Every structure is written in C-alpha cells, then in structure tokens.
Structure 1
Amino acid sequence: MKRGRLPLTALRSFEAAGRLESFTLAASELFVSQAAISRQVRELEELIGRPLFERLHRGVRLTADGQALLGTLTSAFDMVGESLDALSGRRLSQTLKVSAEPSFAGCWLVPHLQEFQEAHPEIDLVIDAESRLAEFRSGEADIAIRHSLTARAWSRVEARPLAEVEMVPVITPALAGAGPPLDRPEDLLQHPLLHEDNRQLWEQWFAAAGTAPVKLARGAIFADGSMVLQATLRGSGVGLIDRDHARDDIAAGRLIQPFDASVPYGAFFIVARRFEALSEAARAFVDWIERSYPGAGRKR
C-alpha cells in the first residue's frame, strides 16, 4: 500500500486495542469513544480484507493476522516515538515519590540509588525519610518502605513483605583491636554499646547469644538505625545493626561481625495504595527493590 494511503488513524486505534486487548481501554488511552475505536478497526479490516479480532461475548481476541500486524505496528510506533524524543533532545521524564523508613533510607536505599538511576535514567526520584504510616494522600508518596515489629497489614493500603530483619553486632576493626580479644559475647561489654530506641534489644541479643542475663543501664540511644550505623563506623562503640544494612560495610572491611548470633526485629514492607494501579515508574522501582535488596524474600 502506498504511504500516502496509509490509514494512520485506524492503525493507531487498532494498535492500542490490540496491545490492551480491549476497545474500552484503547478508547480511554486515545481519548475517543469506544464506538470510534470499533469503527476504525472495522474500516481497517474492510480495507485489508481480513479480520483482525475475534469478537467474543465479553471482549475481543486478536486473530493470527491481527497478532502479526500488531507486532509490526507497536515496534514502528515505538521507534517513531524514540526518534522524536532524540530529535527534540528530551527524554521521557517521570517523577516518583518514595517514602522510606529513615533507617532503610540512610543505611541501604540512598547508598544504592545510583544503581536504580543508571538502570532508569528517565525516572526522577524524590526521597522522603518518614516512619509514620503512609496514607498516600495529596501526592505525598507513590511507594513507601515501612518497618513493623508485629503488624503485617494495615487498613486503606496494601503491603508486600520485603525482608525479615535480623540484628547483628558490628564493630570497627580498630576498636575491636584496641582491647582484649573478643572471644565470647560478654567481651563486647568492654566497649560502649550503641542503642536504637531503647536498651532492651541489646539485652535480647545477649540472651540469644547464650550469655548470663545482662541488664544495661547506660549507652547512647539513637532515634534510628542509620544513626547507629554512622556512630559505629566512627568507632563510637559496638552497634546492633540490621544484617542487610551492615552487609556492604562488612564486605568492604570497614566493620566486622564478631559473633554469628542475631535477634529478630520485625520486618520491612513495601506499601502502596493499590499495587495493581502503580505507575510504570513505581512498578520499575518495586521490581528493583525486590531484586536488589539482599534480604528480600528471606524467611526465618
């Protein structure tokens, strides 16, 4: 068919209907009526003399000819769009607002954001460190990462488990070498212990490590785990840190984990208003988190 006779409007209508497998969704995407989509597709079928859809009782299904034409059209339209973006010097930019638990944001998310940005340069991230339950009102966030000690679900939102949290002791090599050898868990008591929220978690860890009961009345208390991690890295004491958040520093030799014992401390969750309604950018972020976070999917 000569280029001057190509039915471009009908081809665009067919491509949207075939890709979405719905005349109704195609009409919504192209801002026209369902009747207009149906008419354009019917005229295209009459022009080429072949049916492109099977009309079913509740929807439509592509024929073999329709599938072949759809593959060509979708690829062609994508190439045209990419060429126009390149010529105009613009990339398709999307803004994604992520609300993350402060410890998660400071210890893992921010240090690894470059990996996401390199994979998705078209997405501009807005990161907010927040611990209160996300309500997703007034565009405050598209996706949230939250921690909970006991809860597994919340009203008005959907939550997907990301990782169970295991707290482990870490210390800088310099501090560990400044005193007697750390042969037993009790030997950690010769150094300052750094606490998150309260001193009970360290007491629970010593119990898990099999020591005699330990009652702690002293030691700096920090508001979240990222502060504990920073203080530990500076040699201020021994930190009790989420295993996944200490992993990079242990691998790099900045910290050591002197004992294997750990204590459970709740879990992290990915939270959204409705996962099935997420934008393309939000889905890309969720997929990246679930692939990249070291403890994702780990069960105790």
Structure 2
Amino acid sequence: MLRRISIKAIQAFEAAARLGSFALAADELAVTPSAISHQVRLLEDQLGALLFHRVHRSVILTDTGREYAAEVIAAFGRIDAATQLVASSSGSATLTVHSTPSIATQWLMRRLQLYGELHPEIDLRLQSSVEQIDLGQGIVDIDIRYNPGPPPAGAVVKMFPEDVIVPLCSPRLADGPKAIRRVEDLAAHALIHSEVNILGWRDWGRRNRRARLDLDRGLRFDRSFMAIRAAVDGLGVTLDSMLLAEDELRQGTLVIVLPETAMKVRGHGFFSLRSKGDGRKVADFRDWLFDALLSTRGWWEDFLAARQ
C-alpha cells in the first residue's frame, strides 16, 4: 500500500515541472537546487516511477512525469484560486453567486448595476459554469441551477416563477417572403435547437401536429444564449425562454411568432445553504432577484397579451 506522499516533495515537483528547471523552482521556493532535487527523488521513490530525465544540467519530464504534472499543476492552481478567493473576501461584504451561463449572460449580468445601486456595501462576485456547485465548501453563497432537482443535504431551493417558452426569430424572417402566420408556415424555416432545454421542438411539435416539422434537421446548441444569438442573426427560428430573450424582444431584434403556442415551465432554482438562508446578504439578494423576476413576468404577460 502506497504510504502518504510528502506535500513538500509534491510542491517541489510542481514548481520544477511548471518552470522546467530545478534552479528556477529553487528560486521560487527559496531553497537550494539540491533541495529540490532531493525532494523530487524522494517523490519518485515514494511513487515508484521516474518523473524526470536528468540530462547533464537540465531536466526533462518523462511521459509519466508529464501526465502527473498536468494533474498536480491543476490541483495547485485550484488551491491558489481558493486561497485568493478567501483572502480577498476576508473582512469585506462579498457575496459570491454561481449561475448557469445562459441566465448569467442573458439576464442576470444586465441587472447587476441595479443591484449595486441598491446595495453599494456588497461586493458581488459572479461565477458561471454548468458544474453543480457544492455550497457546503463555503466558497459560493448562492447557486442558480437549471432543471435542478431536489436540494442536497443542508441546502434549500426556491424555484423561479414560471418561464414562457415561445418560438422566436428575427423580424426579417417573421415578416419576409416566407412570413410565419400559422403553424404550417414554420416548415419553411430552419429550426434552431437548444438541446439542454426542458422543453424543445419535439414537445412543441406534439402540441402542434399541423406544423409537420423536420426535427432531425437544424442548428443545435447546448446553451440558450447561443441559440438566441443565432436567431437574432437570422439563422432560423428558435424555441426558447422569454426570460432569457427579454432584452432582444424589447429591442426588437427578436420577435415572437405564433404566440398562441407558448408553453410554460419552471426551469431555474435558487439554491442556498439552510444555515445562510436567513443571513442578510443572501436574503437581500434573493428578495431583489425575485422582485426583478416578477417584474419581468409582468412585462411578458402584457407583451404576450398584446400579440394574441
């Protein structure tokens, strides 16, 4: 059984691998090159694998060394990022929000100035990815997830209000030579698919069978913001969220076609730790966010009513 690896030896290896030199690693870690060499040799002995070729006064990673270095360097990078995050937030009112990319890009970022004006004492940090965040690590305060499922142990979730899913396209497609007035007209246009959405063209087609859509064709994206951008560019008709496309609809770069075929879904959830849920920072952001969502919902209800 492999005994515990020396952290000092791994640190010496990481620096030497990243810098490509025992001497440079020694300068960075404020030790002698022989100390680096000793620690790397110790690590090789513990692993039972050669990590560097020693060629005269230079060192070259072996194939095994390169594979190990890639993982170790990445791990040290994550440790550095976490350390900087904690250090930068120490003693300040920092709120860290993680969100899926589309809601962050299409809706949340465009409203952060309003939040900042209401809460100038808060330094907000926004992170975005499709990864599921472990709130228990204490690095992130709030996680906004799509199609989230039940909350993990220790967390609570508040679902966003119902979202409205509608066919969207550029005005020049909607009113062009192949104008879209009936569901049958959609067959003359390319479809843009948002592949991760809860509701897609296949669901829409089941409800509107007269459309006779070719669901095997069309552009496909794994993020709504890309599908919305493609629709703005006139590449076809996308089926997506009025929440995410609000600004494009307000600006007129997208229009809703066939508004009577709109579908509703609860897509996003607001996750926080139960222990933090009543804290001022989290509670204030939650209240601001849901007030903004309700305002958006009121706008799109009026918007749809005017077009039906």
- Shorter chain as denominator, the TM-score bin is 0.5 to 0.7
**TM-aligned CA deviation for residue 161 of structure 1:** 1.4
Q: Specify the alignment match of 1:204 in structure 2.
A: 203
The two structures have a TM-score, normalised by structure 2, of 0.60
C-alpha separation between the residues in 2 aligned to 1:193 and 1:225?
14
**TM-aligned CA deviation for residue 97 of structure 1:** 0.5
Give the direction of change, closer, same or farther, for the CA distance of 1:249–1:138 in structure 2 (3 Å limit): same
Say whether the 8 Å CA contact 2:187–2:214 is kept in structure 1.
no
**TM-aligned CA deviation for residue 210 of structure 1:** 4.7
C-alpha separation between the residues in 1 aligned to 2:253 and 2:246?
10
**Secondary structure of the equivalent of 2:135?**
coil
1:212-231 aligned within 5 A: 214-231=213-230
Give the direction of change, closer, same or farther, for the CA distance of 1:139–1:238 in structure 2 (3 Å limit): same
Q: Specify the alignment match of 1:123 in structure 2.
A: 122
Q: 1:163 aligns with which of 161, 164, 188?
A: 161
Say whether the 8 Å CA contact 1:147–1:266 is kept in structure 2.
no
Bigger shift: residues 175-184 or 97-106? 175-184
**TM-aligned CA deviation for residue 100 of structure 1:** 0.8
Q: Specify the alignment match of 2:105 in structure 1.
A: 106
C-alpha separation between the residues in 2 aligned to 1:239 and 1:144?
27
C-alpha separation between the residues in 2 aligned to 1:198 and 1:101?
12
**TM-aligned CA deviation for residue 116 of structure 1:** 0.9
Give the direction of change, closer, same or farther, for the CA distance of 1:107–1:220 in structure 2 (3 Å limit): same
Q: Specify the alignment match of 1:172 in structure 2.
A: 170
User: Partner amino acid for 1:177?
Assistant: D
User: Partner amino acid for 2:134?
Assistant: E
Larger Rg: 1
User: Partner amino acid for 1:253?
Assistant: G
**TM-aligned CA deviation for residue 181 of structure 1:** 1.9
Q: Please tell me the root mean square deviation across aligned C-alpha atoms, in Å.
A: 2.6
Contiguous gaps of at least 5 residues in structure 2: 1-90, 301-308
User: Partner amino acid for 1:273?
Assistant: L
Say whether the 8 Å CA contact 2:97–2:124 is kept in structure 1.
yes
Q: 1:189 aligns with which of 187, 190, 193?
A: 187
1:260-271 aligned within 5 A: 260=259, 261-271=261-271
1:138-157 aligned within 5 A: 138-148=137-147, 151-157=149-155
Query: Structure 1 residue 240 and structure 2 residue 244: aligned?
Result: no
Q: Specify the alignment match of 1:20 in structure 2.
A: none
**TM-aligned CA deviation for residue 173 of structure 1:** 0.8
C-alpha separation between the residues in 2 aligned to 1:211 and 1:153?
40
Contiguous gaps of at least 5 residues in structure 1: 1-91
**Secondary structure of the equivalent of 1:134?**
coil
| Deviation readout 1:140-183 (Å, 9 max, x if unpaired) | 3101111117x344433211112223311111112323332212
**TM-aligned CA deviation for residue 289 of structure 1:** 0.5
Give the direction of change, closer, same or farther, for the CA distance of 1:186–1:295 in structure 2 (3 Å limit): same
User: Partner amino acid for 2:221?
Assistant: F
Q: Specify the alignment match of 1:133 in structure 2.
A: 132
C-alpha separation between the residues in 1 aligned to 2:210 and 2:265?
19
Query: Structure 1 residue 258 and structure 2 residue 257: aligned?
Result: yes
| Deviation readout 1:235-274 (Å, 9 max, x if unpaired) | 2221111122223322222211011212344421110111
C-alpha separation between the residues in 2 aligned to 1:236 and 1:112?
28
Q: Specify the alignment match of 2:287 in structure 1.
A: 287
User: Partner amino acid for 1:194?
Assistant: I
Say whether the 8 Å CA contact 1:185–1:206 is kept in structure 2.
no
Give the direction of change, closer, same or farther, for the CA distance of 1:265–1:221 in structure 2 (3 Å limit): farther
C-alpha separation between the residues in 2 aligned to 1:211 and 1:95?
53
Say whether the 8 Å CA contact 1:165–1:242 is kept in structure 2.
yes
**Secondary structure of the equivalent of 1:178?**
coil
C-alpha separation between the residues in 2 aligned to 1:183 and 1:277?
47
Q: What percentage of residue pairs aligned between the two structures are identical? A: 28
User: Partner amino acid for 1:112?
Assistant: R
Say whether the 8 Å CA contact 2:187–2:213 is kept in structure 1.
no
**TM-aligned CA deviation for residue 184 of structure 1:** 0.9
C-alpha separation between the residues in 2 aligned to 1:284 and 1:126?
15
**TM-aligned CA deviation for residue 225 of structure 1:** 0.9
